[in-house]
Structure 1
Amino acid sequence: MTLELFLAFLVASLLISISPGAGAVNTMSNGLKYGVWQSLPAILGLQLGYGAQVVIVGVGLGALLASSEIAFSTVKWLGAAYLIWLGYQKWREQPVALKEGEVSTPVSAQKRFWQAAFVNLVNPKATVFLVALFPQFLNANMPQLPQFLIMGTTLLIVDIVVMIGYASLAAKLSTWFKDPKHQKSQNRIFGGMFIAAGSALASYNR
Protein backbone atom coordinates (compact mmCIF):
# COMPACT_ATOMS: atom_id res chain seq x y z
CA MET A 1 0.00 0.00 0.00
CA THR A 2 1.47 3.33 -1.09
CA LEU A 3 1.61 6.32 1.27
CA GLU A 4 -0.96 8.20 -0.82
CA LEU A 5 -3.36 5.25 -0.72
CA PHE A 6 -2.85 4.80 3.01
CA LEU A 7 -3.57 8.48 3.69
CA ALA A 8 -6.76 8.24 1.65
CA PHE A 9 -7.80 5.19 3.66
CA LEU A 10 -6.91 7.02 6.89
CA VAL A 11 -9.25 9.87 5.96
CA ALA A 12 -11.99 7.38 5.10
CA SER A 13 -11.47 5.64 8.45
CA LEU A 14 -11.74 8.94 10.30
CA LEU A 15 -14.97 9.87 8.53
CA ILE A 16 -16.44 6.45 9.28
CA SER A 17 -15.66 6.72 13.00
CA ILE A 18 -16.82 10.32 13.39
CA SER A 19 -20.16 9.59 11.73
CA PRO A 20 -22.73 9.16 14.53
CA GLY A 21 -23.85 5.60 15.01
CA ALA A 22 -24.66 3.00 17.63
CA GLY A 23 -21.02 2.87 18.77
CA ALA A 24 -20.87 6.63 19.32
CA VAL A 25 -24.16 6.56 21.23
CA ASN A 26 -22.86 3.75 23.44
CA THR A 27 -19.61 5.62 24.12
CA MET A 28 -21.26 8.95 24.94
CA SER A 29 -23.73 7.24 27.25
CA ASN A 30 -20.84 5.60 29.14
CA GLY A 31 -18.83 8.84 29.12
CA LEU A 32 -21.68 10.72 30.74
CA LYS A 33 -22.27 8.12 33.42
CA TYR A 34 -18.76 6.85 34.19
CA GLY A 35 -16.23 9.34 32.83
CA VAL A 36 -13.53 8.89 30.20
CA TRP A 37 -11.32 6.20 31.69
CA GLN A 38 -14.19 4.10 32.98
CA SER A 39 -15.57 4.18 29.42
CA LEU A 40 -12.51 2.34 28.10
CA PRO A 41 -13.95 -1.18 28.68
CA ALA A 42 -16.93 -0.32 26.48
CA ILE A 43 -14.67 1.34 23.89
CA LEU A 44 -12.49 -1.77 23.76
CA GLY A 45 -15.63 -3.89 23.51
CA LEU A 46 -16.67 -1.89 20.47
CA GLN A 47 -13.29 -2.67 18.92
CA LEU A 48 -13.76 -6.39 19.52
CA GLY A 49 -17.02 -6.26 17.60
CA TYR A 50 -15.50 -4.01 14.94
CA GLY A 51 -12.44 -6.25 14.64
CA ALA A 52 -14.69 -9.27 14.20
CA GLN A 53 -16.40 -7.45 11.32
CA VAL A 54 -12.99 -6.84 9.72
CA VAL A 55 -12.05 -10.51 10.10
CA ILE A 56 -15.39 -11.63 8.67
CA VAL A 57 -14.84 -9.49 5.60
CA GLY A 58 -11.20 -10.59 5.36
CA VAL A 59 -12.04 -14.28 5.20
CA GLY A 60 -14.81 -13.75 2.69
CA LEU A 61 -17.88 -14.18 4.88
CA GLY A 62 -18.76 -10.56 4.32
CA ALA A 63 -19.42 -11.34 0.68
CA LEU A 64 -21.72 -14.16 1.75
CA LEU A 65 -23.60 -11.85 4.09
CA ALA A 66 -23.92 -9.28 1.32
CA SER A 67 -25.27 -11.84 -1.14
CA SER A 68 -27.44 -14.01 1.13
CA GLU A 69 -30.84 -12.52 1.87
CA ILE A 70 -31.47 -14.92 4.75
CA ALA A 71 -28.11 -14.26 6.43
CA PHE A 72 -28.44 -10.52 5.95
CA SER A 73 -32.00 -10.38 7.27
CA THR A 74 -31.20 -12.57 10.29
CA VAL A 75 -28.26 -10.44 11.44
CA LYS A 76 -30.05 -7.20 10.57
CA TRP A 77 -33.11 -7.97 12.66
CA LEU A 78 -31.07 -9.43 15.52
CA GLY A 79 -28.98 -6.27 15.68
CA ALA A 80 -31.99 -3.98 15.37
CA ALA A 81 -33.87 -5.82 18.12
CA TYR A 82 -30.85 -5.66 20.45
CA LEU A 83 -30.38 -1.93 19.96
CA ILE A 84 -34.07 -1.24 20.49
CA TRP A 85 -33.99 -3.38 23.66
CA LEU A 86 -30.99 -1.39 24.95
CA GLY A 87 -32.89 1.82 24.20
CA TYR A 88 -35.96 0.57 26.06
CA GLN A 89 -33.83 -0.38 29.08
CA LYS A 90 -32.11 3.00 29.03
CA TRP A 91 -35.44 4.84 28.70
CA ARG A 92 -36.81 3.07 31.80
CA GLU A 93 -33.61 3.45 33.85
CA GLN A 94 -34.32 5.31 37.07
CA PRO A 95 -32.23 8.37 38.00
CA VAL A 96 -29.80 7.98 40.88
CA ALA A 97 -30.00 10.68 43.55
CA LEU A 98 -26.36 11.44 44.32
CA LYS A 99 -25.47 12.87 47.70
CA GLU A 100 -22.31 14.81 48.40
CA GLY A 101 -19.35 12.46 48.27
CA GLU A 102 -21.36 9.52 46.94
CA VAL A 103 -21.16 7.94 43.51
CA SER A 104 -23.60 5.70 41.73
CA THR A 105 -22.91 1.97 41.55
CA PRO A 106 -21.70 1.34 38.01
CA VAL A 107 -22.52 -1.57 35.77
CA SER A 108 -19.54 -3.92 35.82
CA ALA A 109 -16.78 -3.20 33.32
CA GLN A 110 -17.11 -6.75 31.98
CA LYS A 111 -20.82 -6.32 31.25
CA ARG A 112 -20.23 -2.96 29.54
CA PHE A 113 -17.44 -4.55 27.48
CA TRP A 114 -19.64 -7.34 26.13
CA GLN A 115 -22.67 -5.10 25.60
CA ALA A 116 -20.54 -2.77 23.46
CA ALA A 117 -18.94 -5.68 21.59
CA PHE A 118 -22.37 -7.02 20.67
CA VAL A 119 -23.50 -3.57 19.45
CA ASN A 120 -20.82 -3.63 16.73
CA LEU A 121 -20.83 -7.37 16.15
CA VAL A 122 -24.46 -7.56 15.00
CA ASN A 123 -24.33 -4.57 12.65
CA PRO A 124 -24.65 -5.98 9.10
CA LYS A 125 -24.51 -2.47 7.64
CA ALA A 126 -20.90 -2.25 8.85
CA THR A 127 -20.09 -5.60 7.22
CA VAL A 128 -21.60 -4.66 3.90
CA PHE A 129 -19.89 -1.26 4.06
CA LEU A 130 -16.50 -2.87 4.67
CA VAL A 131 -17.12 -5.25 1.76
CA ALA A 132 -17.62 -2.18 -0.43
CA LEU A 133 -14.75 -0.19 1.11
CA PHE A 134 -11.84 -2.63 1.25
CA PRO A 135 -11.67 -3.47 -2.49
CA GLN A 136 -11.19 0.23 -3.28
CA PHE A 137 -7.86 0.20 -1.44
CA LEU A 138 -6.63 -3.32 -2.22
CA ASN A 139 -3.83 -3.90 -4.71
CA ALA A 140 -4.64 -7.15 -6.49
CA ASN A 141 -0.99 -7.61 -7.48
CA MET A 142 0.22 -7.67 -3.87
CA PRO A 143 -0.44 -10.13 -1.00
CA GLN A 144 -3.86 -9.37 0.49
CA LEU A 145 -3.23 -10.42 4.10
CA PRO A 146 -0.73 -7.60 4.90
CA GLN A 147 -3.08 -5.10 3.29
CA PHE A 148 -6.03 -6.31 5.35
CA LEU A 149 -3.88 -6.15 8.49
CA ILE A 150 -2.88 -2.55 7.75
CA MET A 151 -6.42 -1.46 7.00
CA GLY A 152 -7.96 -3.34 9.91
CA THR A 153 -5.42 -1.99 12.40
CA THR A 154 -5.91 1.54 11.06
CA LEU A 155 -9.69 1.30 11.43
CA LEU A 156 -9.45 0.11 15.02
CA ILE A 157 -6.85 2.66 16.14
CA VAL A 158 -8.74 5.54 14.56
CA ASP A 159 -11.99 4.36 16.11
CA ILE A 160 -10.42 4.11 19.58
CA VAL A 161 -9.13 7.70 19.31
CA VAL A 162 -12.49 9.01 18.08
CA MET A 163 -14.46 7.13 20.75
CA ILE A 164 -12.18 8.51 23.48
CA GLY A 165 -12.95 11.94 22.05
CA TYR A 166 -16.69 11.23 22.23
CA ALA A 167 -16.34 9.99 25.82
CA SER A 168 -14.32 13.08 26.78
CA LEU A 169 -16.93 15.39 25.31
CA ALA A 170 -19.71 13.59 27.12
CA ALA A 171 -17.79 13.51 30.42
CA LYS A 172 -17.51 17.31 30.38
CA LEU A 173 -21.29 17.43 30.63
CA SER A 174 -21.48 14.92 33.49
CA THR A 175 -21.82 17.52 36.25
CA TRP A 176 -24.94 18.92 34.63
CA PHE A 177 -26.50 15.46 34.69
CA LYS A 178 -26.00 14.83 38.43
CA ASP A 179 -29.44 16.30 39.05
CA PRO A 180 -32.06 13.47 38.99
CA LYS A 181 -34.24 15.43 36.56
CA HIS A 182 -31.32 15.85 34.19
CA GLN A 183 -30.47 12.16 34.58
CA LYS A 184 -33.98 11.25 33.55
CA SER A 185 -33.67 13.48 30.49
CA GLN A 186 -30.29 11.91 29.69
CA ASN A 187 -31.69 8.37 29.95
CA ARG A 188 -34.57 9.20 27.64
CA ILE A 189 -32.36 11.04 25.15
CA PHE A 190 -29.90 8.16 24.85
CA GLY A 191 -32.65 5.57 25.05
CA GLY A 192 -34.33 7.31 22.13
CA MET A 193 -31.02 7.43 20.24
CA PHE A 194 -30.49 3.69 20.71
CA ILE A 195 -34.05 3.01 19.54
CA ALA A 196 -33.50 5.31 16.54
CA ALA A 197 -30.23 3.52 15.71
CA GLY A 198 -32.01 0.17 15.90
CA SER A 199 -34.87 1.42 13.75
CA ALA A 200 -32.40 2.79 11.18
CA LEU A 201 -30.64 -0.57 11.11
CA ALA A 202 -33.94 -2.35 10.61
CA SER A 203 -34.85 -0.07 7.69
CA TYR A 204 -31.43 -0.39 6.01
CA ASN A 205 -31.57 -2.05 2.61
CA ARG A 206 -28.68 -3.30 0.54
Structure 2
Amino acid sequence: MGWEIWLAFLGASIAISLSPGAGAVQSMATGLTHGVRRGFFSVLGLQAGLMLQLTLVAIGLGAVVASSAVAFTVIKWIGVAYLLYLAVQQWRTAGQDLRDQLGGGGDGGRFALFLRGFLVNATNPKGLVFILAVLPQFLVPTDPLLPQYVTMGVTMTAVDIVVMMLYTALAARLVGWLHTARQQTVLSRVFSGLFAVAAIALSFARRGTAAA
Protein backbone atom coordinates (compact mmCIF):
# COMPACT_ATOMS: atom_id res chain seq x y z
CA MET A 1 0.00 0.00 0.00
CA GLY A 2 1.58 3.26 -1.16
CA TRP A 3 1.40 6.59 0.61
CA GLU A 4 -1.22 7.98 -1.76
CA ILE A 5 -3.59 5.08 -1.12
CA TRP A 6 -2.92 5.22 2.63
CA LEU A 7 -3.63 8.95 2.77
CA ALA A 8 -6.89 8.41 0.88
CA PHE A 9 -7.81 5.65 3.34
CA LEU A 10 -6.91 7.92 6.25
CA GLY A 11 -9.32 10.53 4.91
CA ALA A 12 -12.02 7.90 4.51
CA SER A 13 -11.40 6.66 8.07
CA ILE A 14 -11.79 10.17 9.45
CA ALA A 15 -15.04 10.68 7.52
CA ILE A 16 -16.41 7.32 8.68
CA SER A 17 -15.52 7.95 12.32
CA LEU A 18 -16.98 11.47 12.29
CA SER A 19 -20.28 10.21 10.86
CA PRO A 20 -22.70 9.82 13.79
CA GLY A 21 -23.79 6.25 14.38
CA ALA A 22 -24.20 3.69 17.13
CA GLY A 23 -20.60 4.12 18.26
CA ALA A 24 -20.93 7.90 18.45
CA VAL A 25 -24.19 7.62 20.40
CA GLN A 26 -22.56 5.15 22.80
CA SER A 27 -19.57 7.46 23.28
CA MET A 28 -21.81 10.46 23.96
CA ALA A 29 -23.99 8.43 26.31
CA THR A 30 -20.96 7.32 28.30
CA GLY A 31 -19.59 10.86 28.39
CA LEU A 32 -22.95 12.09 29.63
CA THR A 33 -23.37 9.50 32.40
CA HIS A 34 -19.78 8.56 33.32
CA GLY A 35 -17.50 11.38 32.17
CA VAL A 36 -14.41 11.40 29.97
CA ARG A 37 -12.04 9.19 31.96
CA ARG A 38 -14.45 6.28 32.39
CA GLY A 39 -15.73 6.83 28.89
CA PHE A 40 -12.30 5.84 27.62
CA PHE A 41 -13.02 2.20 28.52
CA SER A 42 -16.17 2.29 26.43
CA VAL A 43 -14.13 3.64 23.52
CA LEU A 44 -11.64 0.79 23.92
CA GLY A 45 -14.57 -1.63 23.75
CA LEU A 46 -15.75 0.00 20.54
CA GLN A 47 -12.32 -0.58 19.02
CA ALA A 48 -12.35 -4.24 20.06
CA GLY A 49 -15.67 -4.63 18.24
CA LEU A 50 -14.29 -2.79 15.22
CA MET A 51 -11.24 -5.04 15.09
CA LEU A 52 -13.51 -8.09 15.21
CA GLN A 53 -15.41 -6.80 12.17
CA LEU A 54 -12.19 -6.01 10.31
CA THR A 55 -10.87 -9.49 11.05
CA LEU A 56 -14.05 -11.10 9.72
CA VAL A 57 -13.75 -9.08 6.54
CA ALA A 58 -10.07 -9.94 6.05
CA ILE A 59 -10.57 -13.64 6.64
CA GLY A 60 -13.82 -14.11 4.77
CA LEU A 61 -14.01 -11.80 1.78
CA GLY A 62 -10.77 -9.90 1.31
CA ALA A 63 -9.17 -12.05 -1.38
CA VAL A 64 -12.47 -12.70 -3.18
CA VAL A 65 -13.41 -9.02 -3.44
CA ALA A 66 -9.89 -8.02 -4.46
CA SER A 67 -9.92 -10.46 -7.39
CA SER A 68 -13.55 -10.32 -8.47
CA ALA A 69 -14.96 -7.39 -10.45
CA VAL A 70 -18.49 -8.70 -9.87
CA ALA A 71 -18.07 -8.91 -6.10
CA PHE A 72 -16.45 -5.47 -6.08
CA THR A 73 -19.34 -3.92 -7.99
CA VAL A 74 -22.08 -5.61 -5.96
CA ILE A 75 -20.55 -4.63 -2.63
CA LYS A 76 -19.82 -1.11 -3.86
CA TRP A 77 -23.47 -0.47 -4.72
CA ILE A 78 -24.60 -2.00 -1.46
CA GLY A 79 -22.35 0.57 0.20
CA VAL A 80 -23.78 3.41 -1.89
CA ALA A 81 -27.35 2.36 -1.07
CA TYR A 82 -26.51 2.08 2.61
CA LEU A 83 -24.91 5.53 2.72
CA LEU A 84 -27.93 7.08 0.99
CA TYR A 85 -30.21 5.32 3.47
CA LEU A 86 -28.19 6.78 6.34
CA ALA A 87 -28.40 10.22 4.74
CA VAL A 88 -32.21 10.00 4.60
CA GLN A 89 -32.47 8.63 8.12
CA GLN A 90 -30.16 11.32 9.47
CA TRP A 91 -32.23 14.04 7.79
CA ARG A 92 -35.44 12.63 9.27
CA THR A 93 -34.02 12.62 12.80
CA ALA A 94 -33.24 16.35 12.68
CA GLY A 95 -34.57 18.12 15.75
CA GLN A 96 -34.90 15.04 17.95
CA ASP A 97 -33.50 15.19 21.44
CA LEU A 98 -30.36 13.08 21.67
CA ARG A 99 -31.44 11.85 25.10
CA ASP A 100 -34.16 9.84 23.37
CA GLN A 101 -31.42 7.76 21.72
CA LEU A 102 -29.21 7.30 24.74
CA GLY A 103 -29.91 4.08 26.59
CA GLY A 104 -30.16 3.99 30.33
CA GLY A 105 -26.86 5.04 31.75
CA GLY A 106 -26.83 3.21 35.06
CA ASP A 107 -23.78 2.25 37.00
CA GLY A 108 -20.96 0.18 35.63
CA GLY A 109 -17.33 -0.59 36.23
CA ARG A 110 -14.56 -0.39 33.70
CA PHE A 111 -15.17 -3.87 32.34
CA ALA A 112 -18.91 -3.22 32.03
CA LEU A 113 -18.22 -0.06 30.03
CA PHE A 114 -15.70 -1.92 27.86
CA LEU A 115 -18.17 -4.74 27.21
CA ARG A 116 -20.94 -2.29 26.36
CA GLY A 117 -18.76 -0.56 23.79
CA PHE A 118 -17.63 -3.89 22.35
CA LEU A 119 -21.19 -5.14 21.91
CA VAL A 120 -22.30 -1.93 20.19
CA ASN A 121 -19.84 -2.50 17.34
CA ALA A 122 -19.65 -6.29 17.36
CA THR A 123 -23.43 -6.66 17.00
CA ASN A 124 -23.84 -3.94 14.37
CA PRO A 125 -24.35 -5.66 10.98
CA LYS A 126 -24.67 -2.28 9.26
CA GLY A 127 -21.12 -1.47 10.33
CA LEU A 128 -19.89 -4.77 8.89
CA VAL A 129 -21.64 -4.09 5.57
CA PHE A 130 -20.07 -0.63 5.49
CA ILE A 131 -16.58 -2.04 6.07
CA LEU A 132 -17.15 -4.65 3.35
CA ALA A 133 -18.08 -1.88 0.93
CA VAL A 134 -15.22 0.50 1.75
CA LEU A 135 -12.06 -1.50 2.48
CA PRO A 136 -11.76 -3.27 -0.90
CA GLN A 137 -11.56 0.11 -2.64
CA PHE A 138 -8.09 0.59 -1.15
CA LEU A 139 -6.63 -2.90 -1.59
CA VAL A 140 -3.73 -3.56 -3.98
CA PRO A 141 -4.40 -7.10 -5.25
CA THR A 142 -0.81 -7.65 -6.37
CA ASP A 143 0.54 -7.00 -2.86
CA PRO A 144 0.16 -9.30 0.17
CA LEU A 145 -3.27 -8.72 1.69
CA LEU A 146 -2.45 -9.32 5.37
CA PRO A 147 -0.08 -6.32 5.79
CA GLN A 148 -2.66 -4.12 4.05
CA TYR A 149 -5.43 -5.21 6.40
CA VAL A 150 -3.14 -4.70 9.40
CA THR A 151 -2.32 -1.18 8.19
CA MET A 152 -6.01 -0.42 7.64
CA GLY A 153 -6.92 -1.84 11.04
CA VAL A 154 -4.32 0.21 12.89
CA THR A 155 -5.30 3.35 10.96
CA MET A 156 -9.04 2.97 11.54
CA THR A 157 -8.56 2.13 15.21
CA ALA A 158 -6.25 5.08 15.90
CA VAL A 159 -8.58 7.50 14.11
CA ASP A 160 -11.67 6.11 15.80
CA ILE A 161 -10.16 6.35 19.29
CA VAL A 162 -9.46 10.05 18.76
CA VAL A 163 -12.88 10.79 17.26
CA MET A 164 -14.88 8.77 19.81
CA MET A 165 -13.00 10.44 22.67
CA LEU A 166 -13.89 13.81 21.15
CA TYR A 167 -17.55 12.77 21.08
CA THR A 168 -17.27 11.63 24.70
CA ALA A 169 -15.67 14.89 25.81
CA LEU A 170 -18.17 16.94 23.82
CA ALA A 171 -21.11 15.24 25.50
CA ALA A 172 -19.55 15.59 28.93
CA ARG A 173 -18.78 19.29 28.58
CA LEU A 174 -21.33 20.65 26.15
CA VAL A 175 -24.46 18.67 26.95
CA GLY A 176 -26.61 21.76 26.93
CA TRP A 177 -25.42 22.77 23.46
CA LEU A 178 -25.87 19.26 22.06
CA HIS A 179 -29.46 19.05 23.24
CA THR A 180 -30.64 22.37 21.89
CA ALA A 181 -33.30 21.60 19.26
CA ARG A 182 -31.85 24.04 16.71
CA GLN A 183 -28.31 22.73 17.12
CA GLN A 184 -29.56 19.16 16.83
CA THR A 185 -31.24 20.04 13.54
CA VAL A 186 -28.11 21.68 12.11
CA LEU A 187 -25.85 18.83 13.26
CA SER A 188 -28.14 16.13 11.87
CA ARG A 189 -28.44 17.83 8.48
CA VAL A 190 -24.69 18.45 8.21
CA PHE A 191 -24.01 14.76 8.73
CA SER A 192 -26.85 13.86 6.37
CA GLY A 193 -25.01 15.85 3.72
CA LEU A 194 -21.74 14.08 4.56
CA PHE A 195 -23.40 10.69 4.11
CA ALA A 196 -24.75 11.79 0.72
CA VAL A 197 -21.35 13.11 -0.40
CA ALA A 198 -19.70 9.85 0.66
CA ALA A 199 -22.29 7.88 -1.32
CA ILE A 200 -21.64 9.94 -4.45
CA ALA A 201 -17.88 9.54 -4.09
CA LEU A 202 -18.20 5.78 -3.62
CA SER A 203 -20.45 5.48 -6.68
CA PHE A 204 -17.57 6.75 -8.85
CA ALA A 205 -15.07 4.28 -7.41
CA ARG A 206 -13.69 1.72 -9.87
CA ARG A 207 -11.83 -1.51 -9.19
CA GLY A 208 -9.00 -0.39 -11.46
CA THR A 209 -8.38 2.87 -9.59
CA ALA A 210 -8.69 1.21 -6.21
CA ALA A 211 -6.07 -1.31 -7.15
CA ALA A 212 -3.67 1.15 -8.76
Measure how far apart 1:142 and its partner are.
0.4
Aligned runs of 1:53-202 on 2, under 5 Å?
53-60=53-60, 90=104, 106-173=107-174
- Give the corresponding residue for 1:27: 27
What residue identity is the alignment partner of 1:9? F
What residue identity is the alignment partner of 1:143? P
Does the 8 Å CA contact 2:25/2:101 hold for their aligned counterparts?
Answer: no
What residue identity is the alignment partner of 1:137? F
Measure how far apart 1:125 and its partner are.
1.2
> Structure 1 residues 110 and 27, CA, compared in 2 at 3 Å: closer, same or farther?
same
Aligned residues: 147
1:50 and 2:43 aligned: no
> Structure 1 residues 109 and 61, CA, compared in 2 at 3 Å: closer, same or farther?
farther
CA distance in 2, matches of 1:47, 1:54: 10
What residue identity is the alignment partner of 1:29? A
> Structure 1 residues 61 and 123, CA, compared in 2 at 3 Å: closer, same or farther?
farther
Does the 8 Å CA contact 1:32/1:173 hold for their aligned counterparts?
Answer: no
> Structure 1 residues 89 and 155, CA, compared in 2 at 3 Å: closer, same or farther?
closer
Measure how far apart 1:173 and its partner are.
3.1
What residue identity is the alignment partner of 2:147? P
Measure how far apart 1:88 and its partner are.
8.7
What residue identity is the alignment partner of 2:27? T
User: What per-residue deviation string (whole Å, max 9, x for no partner) do you get for residues 11-56 of structure 1?
Assistant: 0000000000011001011111221111011000001111100000
> Structure 1 residues 89 and 3, CA, compared in 2 at 3 Å: closer, same or farther?
closer
What residue identity is the alignment partner of 2:2? T
CA distance in 2, matches of 1:34, 1:173: 14
CA distance in 1, matches of 2:103, 2:17: 25
Measure how far apart 1:87 and its partner are.
5.8
Higher CA-based Rg: 1
- Give the corresponding residue for 1:6: 6
User: What per-residue deviation string (whole Å, max 9, x for no partner) do you get for residues 107-142 of structure 1?
Assistant: 211111111101100111111111111111100110
Measure how far apart 1:106 and its partner are.
3.6
Measure how far apart 1:61 and its partner are.
5.9
Q: Please, what TM-score do these two structures have when normalized by structure 2?
A: 0.62
User: What per-residue deviation string (whole Å, max 9, x for no partner) do you get for residues 58-78 of structure 1?
Assistant: 101688xx99xxxxxxxxxxx
Does the 8 Å CA contact 1:51/1:152 hold for their aligned counterparts?
Answer: yes
CA distance in 2, matches of 1:131, 1:155: 14
CA distance in 1, matches of 2:120, 2:24: 11
Does the 8 Å CA contact 2:26/2:102 hold for their aligned counterparts?
Answer: no
Q: Which runs of 5+ in 1 are unaligned?
A: 68-85, 94-104, 177-181, 183-188, 190-206
Does the 8 Å CA contact 1:47/1:117 hold for their aligned counterparts?
Answer: yes
Does the 8 Å CA contact 2:29/2:103 hold for their aligned counterparts?
Answer: no
RMSD: 3.0
- Give the corresponding residue for 1:16: 16
